[in-house]
Chain A
Amino acid sequence: MDFGPHLLLAVLEGAVGAAVLALTALGLSLVFGVMRVVNVAHGEFFMLGAVVAWFIASPIAAHPAIGFVAALAIAPLVAGGIAVVVDRLVLKRVEYDPEATIVGTIGVLYIIQQSALMIYGPEARPVEPPFNHRIALPWVEWGDSGLSFYYPWGLSTTSYKLFVIVAAVAILVTFWSVMSRTRLGLIMRATQLDRETAVAFGIPVQRVYSIVFGFGAALAALSAVLIVPIQQAHYLMGHDPLLLSFIVVIIGGLGSVRGTVVAALLIGMSDGIISVFLSPTLSKILATLLVALVLVFRPQGLYGKKMA
Protein backbone atom coordinates (compact mmCIF):
# COMPACT_ATOMS: atom_id res chain seq x y z
CA MET A 1 0.00 0.00 0.00
CA ASP A 2 1.24 3.51 -0.82
CA PHE A 3 2.08 5.99 1.90
CA GLY A 4 -1.09 8.12 1.47
CA PRO A 5 -3.66 5.31 1.90
CA HIS A 6 -1.52 3.83 4.64
CA LEU A 7 -1.59 7.18 6.48
CA LEU A 8 -5.38 7.43 6.11
CA LEU A 9 -5.71 3.98 7.66
CA ALA A 10 -3.44 4.98 10.53
CA VAL A 11 -5.39 8.20 11.11
CA LEU A 12 -8.67 6.26 11.28
CA GLU A 13 -7.20 3.79 13.76
CA GLY A 14 -5.83 6.72 15.75
CA ALA A 15 -9.21 8.47 15.72
CA VAL A 16 -10.92 5.41 17.23
CA GLY A 17 -8.27 5.26 19.96
CA ALA A 18 -8.43 9.02 20.55
CA ALA A 19 -12.22 8.97 20.83
CA VAL A 20 -12.24 6.23 23.47
CA LEU A 21 -9.25 7.75 25.26
CA ALA A 22 -10.95 11.16 25.42
CA LEU A 23 -13.97 9.64 27.18
CA THR A 24 -11.87 7.61 29.60
CA ALA A 25 -9.52 10.49 30.44
CA LEU A 26 -12.44 12.89 30.83
CA GLY A 27 -13.71 10.78 33.74
CA LEU A 28 -10.30 10.90 35.41
CA SER A 29 -9.98 14.63 34.77
CA LEU A 30 -13.46 15.36 36.12
CA VAL A 31 -12.77 13.47 39.35
CA PHE A 32 -9.44 15.20 39.86
CA GLY A 33 -10.80 18.61 38.87
CA VAL A 34 -13.78 18.62 41.21
CA MET A 35 -12.58 16.37 44.05
CA ARG A 36 -8.77 16.74 43.85
CA VAL A 37 -8.65 12.96 44.03
CA VAL A 38 -6.15 11.02 41.88
CA ASN A 39 -8.21 7.95 41.13
CA VAL A 40 -5.69 5.16 40.60
CA ALA A 41 -8.61 2.70 40.23
CA HIS A 42 -9.98 4.54 37.17
CA GLY A 43 -8.67 1.85 34.77
CA GLU A 44 -10.51 -0.80 36.78
CA PHE A 45 -13.82 0.99 36.24
CA PHE A 46 -12.96 0.84 32.53
CA MET A 47 -12.31 -2.90 32.85
CA LEU A 48 -15.51 -3.29 34.84
CA GLY A 49 -17.45 -1.69 31.98
CA ALA A 50 -16.04 -4.19 29.49
CA VAL A 51 -16.55 -7.22 31.74
CA VAL A 52 -20.11 -6.23 32.68
CA ALA A 53 -20.80 -5.64 28.97
CA TRP A 54 -19.73 -9.24 28.29
CA PHE A 55 -21.93 -10.56 31.11
CA ILE A 56 -24.91 -8.65 29.76
CA ALA A 57 -24.41 -9.21 26.03
CA SER A 58 -23.26 -12.83 25.92
CA PRO A 59 -26.41 -14.55 27.27
CA ILE A 60 -28.67 -12.63 24.88
CA ALA A 61 -29.15 -14.90 21.91
CA ALA A 62 -31.13 -12.43 19.83
CA HIS A 63 -29.52 -9.84 17.52
CA PRO A 64 -26.15 -8.63 18.91
CA ALA A 65 -27.43 -5.05 18.85
CA ILE A 66 -29.89 -5.84 21.65
CA GLY A 67 -27.15 -7.12 23.95
CA PHE A 68 -24.89 -4.22 23.01
CA VAL A 69 -27.51 -1.56 23.69
CA ALA A 70 -28.36 -3.22 27.01
CA ALA A 71 -24.65 -3.22 27.91
CA LEU A 72 -24.34 0.41 26.86
CA ALA A 73 -27.14 1.32 29.27
CA ILE A 74 -26.38 -0.98 32.20
CA ALA A 75 -22.56 -1.26 32.41
CA PRO A 76 -21.98 2.47 33.15
CA LEU A 77 -24.71 2.33 35.80
CA VAL A 78 -23.06 -0.67 37.48
CA ALA A 79 -19.59 0.94 37.40
CA GLY A 80 -21.02 4.28 38.55
CA GLY A 81 -22.93 2.60 41.37
CA ILE A 82 -19.82 0.76 42.59
CA ALA A 83 -17.89 4.06 42.41
CA VAL A 84 -20.50 5.77 44.60
CA VAL A 85 -20.11 2.96 47.15
CA VAL A 86 -16.30 3.39 46.99
CA ASP A 87 -16.75 7.12 47.56
CA ARG A 88 -18.90 6.56 50.64
CA LEU A 89 -16.85 3.69 52.11
CA VAL A 90 -13.31 4.84 51.31
CA LEU A 91 -12.86 8.41 50.09
CA LYS A 92 -15.31 10.07 52.47
CA ARG A 93 -13.78 8.25 55.43
CA VAL A 94 -10.30 9.58 54.66
CA GLU A 95 -11.86 13.04 54.18
CA TYR A 96 -10.62 13.23 50.58
CA ASP A 97 -7.06 13.71 51.78
CA PRO A 98 -4.94 13.69 48.56
CA GLU A 99 -2.30 11.20 49.76
CA ALA A 100 -4.76 8.91 51.56
CA THR A 101 -7.07 8.73 48.53
CA ILE A 102 -4.17 7.58 46.33
CA VAL A 103 -3.47 4.72 48.72
CA GLY A 104 -7.21 4.04 49.08
CA THR A 105 -7.82 3.86 45.33
CA ILE A 106 -4.79 1.56 44.89
CA GLY A 107 -6.57 -0.78 47.30
CA VAL A 108 -9.80 -0.41 45.32
CA LEU A 109 -7.85 -1.18 42.12
CA TYR A 110 -6.74 -4.57 43.47
CA ILE A 111 -10.12 -5.40 44.99
CA ILE A 112 -11.95 -4.78 41.68
CA GLN A 113 -9.26 -6.49 39.62
CA GLN A 114 -9.08 -9.62 41.75
CA SER A 115 -12.88 -9.77 42.08
CA ALA A 116 -13.08 -9.71 38.28
CA LEU A 117 -10.49 -12.51 38.10
CA MET A 118 -12.50 -14.63 40.54
CA ILE A 119 -15.90 -13.98 38.96
CA TYR A 120 -15.06 -13.50 35.28
CA GLY A 121 -11.87 -15.56 35.01
CA PRO A 122 -8.54 -14.98 33.29
CA GLU A 123 -9.79 -15.40 29.70
CA ALA A 124 -10.12 -12.59 27.19
CA ARG A 125 -13.61 -12.65 25.75
CA PRO A 126 -15.14 -10.70 22.87
CA VAL A 127 -18.45 -8.90 22.76
CA GLU A 128 -20.09 -9.05 19.38
CA PRO A 129 -20.48 -5.64 17.73
CA PRO A 130 -24.05 -4.58 16.91
CA PHE A 131 -23.02 -4.19 13.25
CA ASN A 132 -19.69 -4.57 11.55
CA HIS A 133 -19.78 -3.98 7.82
CA ARG A 134 -16.53 -3.57 5.98
CA ILE A 135 -16.30 -0.21 4.27
CA ALA A 136 -13.74 0.12 1.51
CA LEU A 137 -12.18 3.57 1.48
CA PRO A 138 -11.35 5.41 -1.70
CA TRP A 139 -8.09 7.14 -2.47
CA VAL A 140 -7.21 9.61 -5.20
CA GLU A 141 -4.54 9.37 -7.83
CA TRP A 142 -3.37 11.61 -10.61
CA GLY A 143 -3.63 9.61 -13.82
CA ASP A 144 -3.58 10.31 -17.53
CA SER A 145 -7.19 11.45 -17.42
CA GLY A 146 -6.66 13.73 -14.41
CA LEU A 147 -7.71 13.16 -10.80
CA SER A 148 -9.51 9.85 -10.23
CA PHE A 149 -10.70 7.74 -7.32
CA TYR A 150 -9.72 4.14 -6.76
CA TYR A 151 -10.02 1.60 -3.93
CA PRO A 152 -6.57 0.42 -2.85
CA TRP A 153 -6.37 -3.16 -1.60
CA GLY A 154 -6.50 -3.28 2.21
CA LEU A 155 -7.70 0.31 2.67
CA SER A 156 -10.87 -0.26 4.62
CA THR A 157 -12.48 0.24 7.96
CA THR A 158 -15.66 -1.04 9.56
CA SER A 159 -18.97 0.64 10.17
CA TYR A 160 -18.58 -0.12 13.88
CA LYS A 161 -15.29 1.78 14.14
CA LEU A 162 -16.91 4.81 12.53
CA PHE A 163 -19.79 4.42 14.97
CA VAL A 164 -17.35 4.49 17.91
CA ILE A 165 -15.95 7.83 16.70
CA VAL A 166 -19.41 9.33 16.18
CA ALA A 167 -20.73 8.00 19.51
CA ALA A 168 -17.71 9.33 21.41
CA VAL A 169 -18.14 12.77 19.83
CA ALA A 170 -21.86 12.72 20.71
CA ILE A 171 -21.07 11.77 24.33
CA LEU A 172 -18.42 14.50 24.56
CA VAL A 173 -20.88 17.10 23.26
CA THR A 174 -23.52 15.88 25.74
CA PHE A 175 -20.96 16.06 28.55
CA TRP A 176 -20.00 19.59 27.54
CA SER A 177 -23.68 20.60 27.43
CA VAL A 178 -24.33 19.14 30.87
CA MET A 179 -21.32 20.94 32.33
CA SER A 180 -21.98 24.31 30.70
CA ARG A 181 -25.76 24.48 30.35
CA THR A 182 -27.32 22.67 33.29
CA ARG A 183 -27.72 23.40 36.99
CA LEU A 184 -25.84 20.18 37.85
CA GLY A 185 -22.92 21.32 35.70
CA LEU A 186 -22.92 24.74 37.36
CA ILE A 187 -22.86 23.11 40.79
CA MET A 188 -19.97 20.84 39.77
CA ARG A 189 -17.98 23.75 38.34
CA ALA A 190 -18.59 25.88 41.43
CA THR A 191 -17.47 23.00 43.68
CA GLN A 192 -14.36 22.56 41.55
CA LEU A 193 -13.47 26.25 41.87
CA ASP A 194 -14.00 26.73 45.61
CA ARG A 195 -15.26 23.93 47.83
CA GLU A 196 -15.68 26.04 50.98
CA THR A 197 -17.58 28.85 49.27
CA ALA A 198 -19.74 26.26 47.53
CA VAL A 199 -20.74 24.93 50.97
CA ALA A 200 -21.41 28.49 52.14
CA PHE A 201 -23.92 28.76 49.29
CA GLY A 202 -25.81 25.62 50.16
CA ILE A 203 -24.14 23.19 47.79
CA PRO A 204 -24.06 19.69 49.37
CA VAL A 205 -20.45 19.07 48.45
CA GLN A 206 -20.46 15.51 49.82
CA ARG A 207 -23.32 14.57 47.50
CA VAL A 208 -21.65 16.36 44.59
CA TYR A 209 -18.47 14.32 45.20
CA SER A 210 -20.43 11.07 45.12
CA ILE A 211 -22.11 12.07 41.87
CA VAL A 212 -18.82 13.16 40.30
CA PHE A 213 -16.99 9.97 41.32
CA GLY A 214 -19.84 7.87 39.98
CA PHE A 215 -20.03 9.97 36.81
CA GLY A 216 -16.27 9.62 36.21
CA ALA A 217 -16.42 5.84 36.59
CA ALA A 218 -19.49 5.65 34.34
CA LEU A 219 -17.62 7.55 31.61
CA ALA A 220 -14.73 5.05 31.82
CA ALA A 221 -17.20 2.14 31.68
CA LEU A 222 -19.05 3.70 28.74
CA SER A 223 -15.85 4.03 26.73
CA ALA A 224 -15.01 0.40 27.56
CA VAL A 225 -18.40 -0.78 26.28
CA LEU A 226 -17.71 1.09 23.04
CA ILE A 227 -14.26 -0.47 22.58
CA VAL A 228 -14.94 -4.03 23.80
CA PRO A 229 -16.29 -5.24 20.42
CA ILE A 230 -12.92 -4.19 18.92
CA GLN A 231 -10.67 -5.31 21.77
CA GLN A 232 -11.66 -8.06 24.20
CA ALA A 233 -12.77 -7.96 27.80
CA HIS A 234 -10.01 -9.06 30.14
CA TYR A 235 -9.46 -8.55 33.84
CA LEU A 236 -6.08 -6.81 33.26
CA MET A 237 -7.29 -4.51 30.49
CA GLY A 238 -7.47 -1.45 32.80
CA HIS A 239 -3.72 -0.78 32.90
CA ASP A 240 -3.23 0.85 29.49
CA PRO A 241 -6.29 3.14 29.71
CA LEU A 242 -5.16 4.26 33.16
CA LEU A 243 -1.62 5.05 32.00
CA LEU A 244 -2.82 6.82 28.85
CA SER A 245 -5.49 8.72 30.79
CA PHE A 246 -2.86 9.99 33.22
CA ILE A 247 -0.67 11.03 30.28
CA VAL A 248 -3.60 12.84 28.67
CA VAL A 249 -4.72 14.56 31.87
CA ILE A 250 -1.17 15.74 32.68
CA ILE A 251 -0.56 17.04 29.16
CA GLY A 252 -4.00 18.66 28.90
CA GLY A 253 -3.85 20.24 32.34
CA LEU A 254 -5.30 18.70 35.49
CA GLY A 255 -9.02 19.28 35.67
CA SER A 256 -9.31 21.00 32.28
CA VAL A 257 -12.01 19.47 30.09
CA ARG A 258 -10.79 21.25 26.96
CA GLY A 259 -7.18 20.25 27.67
CA THR A 260 -8.21 16.63 28.20
CA VAL A 261 -9.98 16.43 24.84
CA VAL A 262 -7.13 18.14 22.96
CA ALA A 263 -4.49 15.95 24.63
CA ALA A 264 -6.55 12.80 23.99
CA LEU A 265 -6.67 13.70 20.30
CA LEU A 266 -2.92 14.33 20.28
CA ILE A 267 -2.01 11.14 22.14
CA GLY A 268 -4.67 8.93 20.54
CA MET A 269 -3.87 10.01 16.99
CA SER A 270 -0.10 9.82 17.45
CA ASP A 271 -0.52 6.42 19.12
CA GLY A 272 -2.50 5.16 16.13
CA ILE A 273 -0.16 6.59 13.51
CA ILE A 274 3.10 5.60 15.19
CA SER A 275 1.74 2.12 15.97
CA VAL A 276 0.82 1.54 12.33
CA PHE A 277 4.04 2.90 10.83
CA LEU A 278 6.60 1.99 13.50
CA SER A 279 5.64 0.12 16.68
CA PRO A 280 3.10 0.41 19.51
CA THR A 281 5.94 0.35 22.05
CA LEU A 282 7.59 3.36 20.43
CA SER A 283 4.31 5.30 20.60
CA LYS A 284 4.10 4.67 24.36
CA ILE A 285 7.74 5.72 24.79
CA LEU A 286 7.13 8.96 22.89
CA ALA A 287 3.94 9.71 24.85
CA THR A 288 5.77 9.21 28.14
CA LEU A 289 8.62 11.40 26.89
CA LEU A 290 6.07 14.08 26.00
CA VAL A 291 4.71 13.96 29.55
CA ALA A 292 8.24 14.43 30.90
CA LEU A 293 8.76 17.45 28.63
CA VAL A 294 5.41 18.94 29.66
CA LEU A 295 6.23 18.47 33.34
CA VAL A 296 9.58 20.23 32.84
CA PHE A 297 8.53 23.11 30.59
CA ARG A 298 4.81 23.56 31.31
CA PRO A 299 3.95 21.77 34.56
CA GLN A 300 0.37 23.04 34.52
CA GLY A 301 -0.23 21.32 31.14
CA LEU A 302 -1.58 22.81 27.92
CA TYR A 303 -4.74 24.33 29.40
CA GLY A 304 -4.20 24.00 33.13
CA LYS A 305 -3.84 26.98 35.43
CA LYS A 306 -0.67 27.61 37.39
CA MET A 307 -1.07 26.77 41.05
CA ALA A 308 -0.90 29.88 43.21
Chain B
Amino acid sequence: MTLRLEAINTGYGQVQILYDLSLEARPGEVLCLLGRNGAGKTTTLKAIMGLLPLRSGSITLDGQSLSDLPAHQVPGQGVAYVPQGRRLFTELTVAENIEIGLMTRGKSHRTRDRVLSMFPRLQDRLDQPAETLSGGEQQMLATARALCLEPSVLLLDEPTEGLQPSMIALIADTVRAMRTEGQAVILVEQRIDSVLALADRVAFIENGRGREVMDTADLRDDPSLVRKYVGI
Protein backbone atom coordinates (compact mmCIF):
# COMPACT_ATOMS: atom_id res chain seq x y z
CA MET B 1 0.00 0.00 0.00
CA THR B 2 1.22 3.50 -0.80
CA LEU B 3 1.37 6.04 1.98
CA ARG B 4 1.17 9.61 0.77
CA LEU B 5 1.72 12.84 2.71
CA GLU B 6 0.57 15.93 0.87
CA ALA B 7 1.65 19.38 2.03
CA ILE B 8 1.21 18.63 5.72
CA ASN B 9 1.62 21.32 8.36
CA THR B 10 1.79 20.35 12.01
CA GLY B 11 3.58 21.05 15.29
CA TYR B 12 3.33 21.07 19.06
CA GLY B 13 0.92 23.63 20.52
CA GLN B 14 1.71 27.02 19.03
CA VAL B 15 5.05 25.86 17.63
CA GLN B 16 4.91 24.76 14.01
CA ILE B 17 7.44 22.06 13.10
CA LEU B 18 6.50 20.82 9.62
CA TYR B 19 5.83 23.16 6.70
CA ASP B 20 4.05 21.81 3.60
CA LEU B 21 5.88 18.49 3.80
CA SER B 22 5.07 15.98 1.06
CA LEU B 23 6.32 12.40 0.90
CA GLU B 24 5.43 9.09 -0.63
CA ALA B 25 6.30 5.62 0.68
CA ARG B 26 5.69 2.82 -1.82
CA PRO B 27 5.12 -0.87 -1.21
CA GLY B 28 8.28 -2.95 -1.09
CA GLU B 29 10.62 -0.02 -0.53
CA VAL B 30 12.53 1.50 2.35
CA LEU B 31 12.30 5.28 2.49
CA CYS B 32 14.74 6.91 4.86
CA LEU B 33 14.18 10.35 6.37
CA LEU B 34 17.44 12.19 6.89
CA GLY B 35 18.06 15.53 8.55
CA ARG B 36 19.68 17.25 11.49
CA ASN B 37 18.31 16.92 15.04
CA GLY B 38 15.10 18.92 15.28
CA ALA B 39 14.51 18.89 11.51
CA GLY B 40 11.09 17.25 12.00
CA LYS B 41 11.73 13.56 11.27
CA THR B 42 10.08 12.19 14.42
CA THR B 43 7.30 14.76 14.07
CA THR B 44 6.62 13.39 10.58
CA LEU B 45 6.19 9.86 11.96
CA LYS B 46 3.96 11.09 14.78
CA ALA B 47 1.84 13.02 12.30
CA ILE B 48 1.39 9.85 10.21
CA MET B 49 0.24 7.99 13.33
CA GLY B 50 -2.26 10.77 14.09
CA LEU B 51 -0.50 11.60 17.35
CA LEU B 52 -0.16 15.20 16.21
CA PRO B 53 -3.20 16.84 14.58
CA LEU B 54 -2.63 18.31 11.13
CA ARG B 55 -3.17 22.04 10.65
CA SER B 56 -3.51 21.44 6.94
CA GLY B 57 -2.61 18.88 4.30
CA SER B 58 -3.56 15.24 4.11
CA ILE B 59 -2.20 11.76 4.76
CA THR B 60 -3.62 8.88 2.77
CA LEU B 61 -3.02 5.15 2.56
CA ASP B 62 -3.93 3.82 -0.88
CA GLY B 63 -6.22 6.81 -1.32
CA GLN B 64 -8.01 6.32 2.04
CA SER B 65 -7.56 9.27 4.38
CA LEU B 66 -5.68 8.55 7.60
CA SER B 67 -5.65 12.15 8.77
CA ASP B 68 -9.45 12.21 9.15
CA LEU B 69 -9.40 9.24 11.52
CA PRO B 70 -9.07 9.42 15.32
CA ALA B 71 -5.46 8.57 16.21
CA HIS B 72 -6.33 5.20 17.76
CA GLN B 73 -7.88 4.03 14.48
CA VAL B 74 -4.74 4.66 12.41
CA PRO B 75 -2.87 1.48 13.44
CA GLY B 76 -5.98 -0.52 12.57
CA GLN B 77 -5.46 0.53 8.94
CA GLY B 78 -2.14 -1.30 8.93
CA VAL B 79 0.35 1.37 9.98
CA ALA B 80 2.72 0.23 12.75
CA TYR B 81 5.10 2.43 14.70
CA VAL B 82 8.36 1.65 16.49
CA PRO B 83 8.99 4.87 18.41
CA GLN B 84 12.33 6.39 19.24
CA GLY B 85 13.59 5.07 22.59
CA ARG B 86 11.35 1.97 22.09
CA ARG B 87 8.56 3.26 24.38
CA LEU B 88 7.76 -0.21 25.64
CA PHE B 89 5.13 -0.74 28.32
CA THR B 90 7.97 -1.25 30.74
CA GLU B 91 6.12 -2.84 33.66
CA LEU B 92 4.24 -5.26 31.41
CA THR B 93 5.83 -8.56 30.53
CA VAL B 94 7.22 -9.38 27.10
CA ALA B 95 4.13 -11.53 26.44
CA GLU B 96 1.81 -8.68 27.45
CA ASN B 97 3.61 -6.19 25.19
CA ILE B 98 3.21 -8.67 22.34
CA GLU B 99 -0.45 -9.14 23.26
CA ILE B 100 -1.05 -5.38 22.94
CA GLY B 101 0.35 -5.55 19.41
CA LEU B 102 -1.87 -8.53 18.54
CA MET B 103 -4.98 -6.85 19.95
CA THR B 104 -4.56 -3.80 17.72
CA ARG B 105 -5.76 -5.60 14.59
CA GLY B 106 -7.22 -8.69 16.21
CA LYS B 107 -4.38 -10.94 15.08
CA SER B 108 -4.16 -14.53 16.22
CA HIS B 109 -1.48 -16.40 18.12
CA ARG B 110 -0.27 -17.74 14.78
CA THR B 111 0.95 -14.20 14.07
CA ARG B 112 2.61 -14.14 17.48
CA ASP B 113 4.43 -17.40 16.81
CA ARG B 114 5.61 -16.14 13.43
CA VAL B 115 6.89 -12.88 14.91
CA LEU B 116 8.58 -14.61 17.83
CA SER B 117 10.33 -16.97 15.41
CA MET B 118 12.04 -13.86 14.01
CA PHE B 119 13.27 -12.92 17.51
CA PRO B 120 13.90 -16.24 19.31
CA ARG B 121 15.55 -14.53 22.29
CA LEU B 122 12.19 -13.05 23.25
CA GLN B 123 10.70 -16.53 23.36
CA ASP B 124 12.75 -17.31 26.49
CA ARG B 125 11.78 -14.07 28.19
CA LEU B 126 8.02 -14.00 27.72
CA ASP B 127 7.26 -13.71 31.44
CA GLN B 128 9.93 -11.09 32.12
CA PRO B 129 8.95 -7.42 32.59
CA ALA B 130 10.06 -5.45 29.53
CA GLU B 131 12.13 -3.09 31.69
CA THR B 132 14.44 -5.96 32.66
CA LEU B 133 15.51 -6.65 29.06
CA SER B 134 18.79 -5.43 27.60
CA GLY B 135 18.73 -2.50 25.16
CA GLY B 136 18.96 -4.83 22.17
CA GLU B 137 16.22 -7.10 23.46
CA GLN B 138 14.02 -4.08 24.11
CA GLN B 139 14.47 -3.00 20.49
CA MET B 140 13.59 -6.54 19.38
CA LEU B 141 10.44 -6.38 21.50
CA ALA B 142 9.46 -2.93 20.19
CA THR B 143 9.87 -4.21 16.64
CA ALA B 144 8.08 -7.49 17.37
CA ARG B 145 5.19 -5.61 18.98
CA ALA B 146 4.80 -3.52 15.81
CA LEU B 147 5.08 -6.54 13.50
CA CYS B 148 2.20 -8.21 15.39
CA LEU B 149 -0.06 -5.77 13.50
CA GLU B 150 1.04 -7.40 10.23
CA PRO B 151 1.38 -3.86 8.92
CA SER B 152 1.47 -2.69 5.35
CA VAL B 153 3.48 0.37 6.44
CA LEU B 154 6.13 0.19 9.15
CA LEU B 155 7.53 3.36 10.74
CA LEU B 156 10.89 2.94 12.48
CA ASP B 157 12.35 5.81 14.48
CA GLU B 158 16.09 5.39 15.05
CA PRO B 159 15.89 1.63 15.63
CA THR B 160 19.66 1.15 15.87
CA GLU B 161 20.24 3.87 18.47
CA GLY B 162 22.64 2.61 21.14
CA LEU B 163 22.75 -0.97 19.87
CA GLN B 164 25.72 -3.27 19.40
CA PRO B 165 26.61 -4.36 15.83
CA SER B 166 24.97 -7.81 16.07
CA MET B 167 21.67 -6.20 17.07
CA ILE B 168 21.96 -3.62 14.29
CA ALA B 169 22.41 -6.49 11.82
CA LEU B 170 19.31 -8.23 13.17
CA ILE B 171 17.22 -5.06 12.83
CA ALA B 172 18.58 -4.58 9.29
CA ASP B 173 17.60 -8.16 8.40
CA THR B 174 14.10 -7.50 9.72
CA VAL B 175 13.76 -4.34 7.62
CA ARG B 176 14.91 -6.23 4.51
CA ALA B 177 12.40 -8.99 5.25
CA MET B 178 9.61 -6.40 5.46
CA ARG B 179 10.65 -4.98 2.12
CA THR B 180 10.72 -8.43 0.55
CA GLU B 181 7.19 -9.06 1.83
CA GLY B 182 6.04 -5.91 0.02
CA GLN B 183 5.63 -3.61 2.99
CA ALA B 184 6.54 0.05 2.87
CA VAL B 185 9.10 1.01 5.51
CA ILE B 186 9.79 4.58 6.60
CA LEU B 187 13.03 4.70 8.51
CA VAL B 188 14.43 7.56 10.54
CA GLU B 189 18.11 6.85 11.00
CA GLN B 190 21.23 8.81 11.94
CA ARG B 191 23.77 6.13 10.97
CA ILE B 192 24.67 6.86 7.38
CA ASP B 193 26.13 3.36 6.84
CA SER B 194 22.78 1.85 7.84
CA VAL B 195 20.94 4.26 5.56
CA LEU B 196 23.11 3.43 2.58
CA ALA B 197 22.82 -0.29 3.28
CA LEU B 198 19.06 -0.38 3.77
CA ALA B 199 17.26 2.48 2.08
CA ASP B 200 15.95 2.48 -1.47
CA ARG B 201 15.28 6.22 -1.41
CA VAL B 202 16.27 9.02 0.91
CA ALA B 203 14.20 12.10 1.71
CA PHE B 204 16.02 15.05 3.24
CA ILE B 205 14.18 17.26 5.72
CA GLU B 206 15.52 20.63 6.76
CA ASN B 207 13.81 22.90 9.30
CA GLY B 208 10.52 21.08 8.79
CA ARG B 209 10.56 21.41 5.02
CA GLY B 210 11.02 18.61 2.53
CA ARG B 211 14.14 18.98 0.36
CA GLU B 212 15.57 16.53 -2.15
CA VAL B 213 14.23 12.99 -2.47
CA MET B 214 16.69 10.71 -4.24
CA ASP B 215 17.63 7.11 -4.83
CA THR B 216 20.22 5.77 -2.43
CA ALA B 217 22.45 4.80 -5.34
CA ASP B 218 22.61 8.47 -6.38
CA LEU B 219 23.44 9.48 -2.82
CA ARG B 220 26.38 7.08 -2.78
CA ASP B 221 27.71 8.86 -5.85
CA ASP B 222 27.19 12.32 -4.36
CA PRO B 223 27.63 12.30 -0.57
CA SER B 224 27.80 16.11 -0.47
CA LEU B 225 24.04 16.22 0.20
CA VAL B 226 24.55 14.31 3.43
CA ARG B 227 27.08 16.93 4.52
CA LYS B 228 24.68 19.68 3.49
CA TYR B 229 21.56 18.44 5.28
CA VAL B 230 22.92 16.26 8.09
CA GLY B 231 26.25 17.98 8.72
CA ILE B 232 28.47 14.88 8.70
Contacts and interface: CB of A to CB of B under 8 A. Distances in A.
B89 A204 contact: no
Contacts of A183: 103
B103 A189 contact: no
Interface residues of A, number: 17
Nearest to A191: B89
Contacts of B99: 186
A202 B73 contact: yes
A1 interface: no
A253 B89 CA distance: 19
Contacts of B81: 200
A199 B96 CA distance: 16
Q: What 10 A-B pairs are tightest by C-beta distance, nearest first?
A: A202-B104, A197-B87, A202-B75, A193-B89, A204-B72, A200-B81, A199-B71, A201-B104, A190-B89, A199-B72
Contact of B75 (A186, A196, A201): A201
Interface of A: 183, 186-187, 189-190, 193-194, 196-205
B136 to A, nearest CB: 19
Contacts of B181: none
7 contacts: A196-B87, A197-B88, A200-B51, A200-B71, A200-B81, A202-B104, A203-B72
A197 B105 contact: no
A84 B49 CA distance: 27
B92 A186 contact: yes
Interface size class of B (residues with CB under 8 A): 20 to 34
Interface in B8-56: 49-51
Interface string B71-115: 111111000010100011111100010011101110000000000
Contacts of A200: 49, 51, 71, 74-75, 81, 83
B75 A193 contact: no
Most buried by A among B71, B89, B90, B104: B89
B145 interface: yes
B225 to A, nearest CB: 31
Given A202-B72, A202-B73, A190 B51 contact: no
B71 A197 contact: no
Contacts of B89: 189-190, 193-194, 197-198
Contacts of B103: 183, 186-187, 201-202
B105 A202 contact: yes
Most buried by B among A189, A190, A196, A201: A201
Contacts of A201: 75, 100-101, 103-104, 145
A198 B71 CA distance: 10
